[in-house]
Structure 1
Amino acid sequence: MTKLASCLWVTCPIIIGAGPSGLATAACLKKKDIPSLILERADCIASLWKLKTYDRLHLHLPKQFCELPFMSFPANFPTYPTKNQFFDYLESYKNHFGLEPVFNKTVVSAEFDHRYGVWRVVTLGPEQEQIEYVSQWLVVATGENADEVMPFIEGMCDFGGPILHSSFYRNGRSYQGKDVLVVGCGNSGMEVALDLANFNARTSLVVRVEISDN
């Protein structure tokens, strides 16, 4: 049961999401002496990087193209930092700018109140307590890959083996000597397939090809 909501007036911008974009937005505001309130549904910053990525993940672009505003990567980092190095960088970034996200606040709605010219942002906490934050400004920085998308594939219900989304994959150690089908050839699909092959899994890769009439 959801507990009764409390209502908090926020005199600064609300930022939803404590990933790289949310942290960068807060830092840019702070450089102009504008505070912000960062709401994050997880219990840590950059939860996608910390909780939903495979072990071998590195940045896919050179580090100079991935650094956040006003703070470069450490000089001793490789050209393509590991996921742990990137997370450490984000943690240092947060501390350097004194950012203090409010964790375990899942935003369930965000609506603009035209009558009063404010945003009303409602969150749920771990005990289902509900809080409504009211502010004139709202920045949504939840990312495009925050939630996994598991498409329905004919025959899935009859398949006897495990079906795993890449956000739950860590490494191929437990797949050694097994037949594994990877669906998709994006960055994650290609790297997961390579990782499985390195762990001696019998790996196949399915690619959707768009055929043009031209």
Structure 2
Amino acid sequence: MESHPRNQTDQSKQIILVHGPIIIGAGPSGLATSACLSSCGVPSLILERSDSIASLWKSKTYDRLKLHLPKHFCRLPLLDFPENFPKYPSKNEFLAYLESYASHFRIVPRFKADVQNASFDSSPGFWRVKTLDNTEYLSKWLVVATGENADPYLPEIPGIKTFSGGKIVHASEYKSGEEFRRQKVLVVGCGNSGMEISLDLVRHNASPHLVVRNTVHVLPREILGLSTFGVGMTLLKCLPLRLVDKFLLLMANLSFGNTDRLGLRRPKMGPLELKNVTGKSPVLDVGAMALIRSGKIQIMEGVKEITKNGAKFMDGQEKGFDSIIFATGYKSNVPTWLQGSDFFTEEGMPKTPFPNGWRGGKGLYTVGFTRRGLLGTASDAIKIAGEIGDQWRDDIMGPIRNMCSSHFVFFSNS
């Protein structure tokens, strides 16, 4: 990188030319892209708004979290998990892997670099990325690696401000059921987080009531000791998707019986087809289903209204609760800072469908927006590094130096 004062009157503002891509986000997506670029001989700069890598994993996940897929499906490119790690690594083990990954590839993000806006300047053909500390970064390439789960999503429910019970928290703030011990807790959202938080609450002698507003596929995490996801991926190599879905649902029915009777209505579309079409993942059960069958986790219909002491539901029931936990997922934050690009939807997702959503044109790339977890992240990172690496070798180094010498006077950035 090279930098120079923006002007003579305000020495606090800098322009920094980055000789390589700017990557926004130091989560798994940003780390994977930086490592793949490095393997192609291309330098990069990661800008991260927090003070650490993988801040979402580190500070906004619950204590008992484990990877829902076996570790070989969750590895980042070019470096495996340690052999002594369990089949399903814990949150802390995954974080240790990410730390060793960054160290192995000598990735040093610029922390507390909160991006205010980024836009493409067609005159020099550069992306301009401005951070809240009055620094502007320039590069021919911009890699959006903030992912589809950047910020917590909280639905607007009537009456939520009137609740005078205990806590109202998002799942990103939930750490353990210890602080909800012996409480009656409403858990809104029945994805993997909602199910697992409900399980954790029961283990801490709380009484969770899980809101299931829509249809949901629940699958056993393993079939005959094998990862259900892995079995599905293997079968897809030789069988049609809908036939694989029928097999997975057969295994689910053998494990759980008819889930409609429990208040968990299955979608008409199979789990893998639904994932491909909508991006909605099936729930992989790690113990919650047994507690639902026993009544220790109670299933509730959609919330109509939050009241002073609890909630009213769509089926007419009204119950009191001590606390409310919103396991309602996350959303992209791209629309809040990326300007002048029509590549993203209003929801901050690439308009181009998978598997081609990684390339946005004019040097814009995205990683971590496939709705296919860490496998999708790894695939995007490899493709992006390959394309930028080709451009870097073919026509970048000489033209950048010529342009810089004619437009700017730079000095080394210490």
Interval containing the TM-score (normalised by the shorter chain): over 0.9
Matches within 5 A, 1:1-214: 5-124=13-132, 129-161=133-165, 162-209=167-214
SS at match of 1:56: coil
CA distance in 2, matches of 1:166, 1:46: 17
| Identity fraction in percent | 58
Give the AA of the match of 1:188: S
- 1:67-107 alpha-carbon deviations (Å, 9 max, x no partner): 01110000010110000000000000000011110000001
Give the AA of the match of 1:147: D
TM-score by length of 2: 0.49
Give the AA of the match of 1:151: P
CA distance in 2, matches of 1:157, 1:39: 36
Q: Which runs of 5+ in 1 are unaligned?
A: none
Give the AA of the match of 2:144: V
SS at match of 2:169: coil
- C-alpha displacement of 1:192: 0.5
Which one has a larger percent helix, Structure 1 or Structure 2? 2
SS at match of 2:137: strand
Give the AA of the match of 1:118: F
CA distance in 2, matches of 1:188, 1:11: 40
CA distance in 1, matches of 2:161, 2:169: 13
CA distance in 2, matches of 1:108, 1:99: 23
TM-score by length of 1: 0.93
SS at match of 2:127: strand
- C-alpha displacement of 1:176: 1.1
Question: 1:25/1:204 Cα in 2 relative to 1: closer, same or farther (>3 Å)?
Answer: same
Compare 135-144 and 5-14 and name the one that shifted more: 5-14
- C-alpha displacement of 1:5: 3.0
SS at match of 2:168: coil
Give the AA of the match of 2:213: R
Aligned-pair Cα RMSD in Å = 1.7
- C-alpha displacement of 1:149: 1.1
CA distance in 1, matches of 2:159, 2:205: 26
- C-alpha displacement of 1:159: 0.8
- 1:44-72 alpha-carbon deviations (Å, 9 max, x no partner): 00000001000000011110000011100
SS at match of 2:77: coil
Runs of 4+ in 1 over 6 A off after TM superposition: 211-214
- C-alpha displacement of 1:4: 5.5
SS at match of 1:61: coil
**Larger-gyration structure (1/2):** 2
- 1:7-52 alpha-carbon deviations (Å, 9 max, x no partner): 1111111000110010000000000111100100000000000010
CA distance in 2, matches of 1:213, 1:16: 38
Question: 1:158/1:92 Cα in 2 relative to 1: closer, same or farther (>3 Å)?
Answer: same
CA distance in 2, matches of 1:213, 1:130: 52
CA distance in 1, matches of 2:214, 2:126: 46
Give the AA of the match of 1:177: R
Give the AA of the match of 2:172: S
Compare 60-69 and 142-151 and name the one that shifted more: 142-151
